[in-house]
Amino acid sequence: MKTATANKRKQQAATPGFAIKLTANTDLGLATLIVEDEDGHYEPLGVVATIGEGRDEARDDWRRRIRQPEHDRLCPYIYKIWARGLDGEHRVAAEFLAIEL
């Protein structure tokens, strides 16, 4: 029985830097979705409330950029959701590789 209890605690462990385990539907408050290229250049895309919403917005942005390529636009490599963590600092709550969207 100790093993089952220990496994349950591990599953419920907080995401590092946050008070709780973050899931696709966790309310992040006002989190920022950004897109980065392979060189670390980035563009903020907007505000999202959950990781699931951020994933959907990233997927839409990726599709839009593929359909309408422009030479002066950033070429997405990774999308990141930044949210305020336990210490009040903004930290990455989730990230999605563009090619996996």
**pLDDT for the residue 96:** 96
Pick left, alpha or beta for residue 46 (phi over 0 → left; psi -120 to 50 → alpha; otherwise beta): left
- Pairwise CA distance, residues 79 & 97, whole Å: 6
- Pairwise CA distance, residues 25 & 8, whole Å: 20
**pLDDT for the residue 70:** 73
**Each residue's pLDDT tens digit in the chain (101 positions)?**
455 555 455 556 888 889 889 999 999 999 999 999 999 999 999 999 999 999 999 999 999 988 887 766 889 999 999 999 988 899 999 999 999 99
**pLDDT for the residue 78:** 97
**pLDDT for the residue 51:** 97
Inter-residue contact 48 to 83 (CB < 8 Å):
no
- Pairwise CA distance, residues 16 & 75, whole Å: 29
Inter-residue contact 36 to 44 (CB < 8 Å):
no
In order, the DSSP letters of 23-44 are -TT---SSEEEEEE-TTS-EEE
**pLDDT for the residue 4:** 52
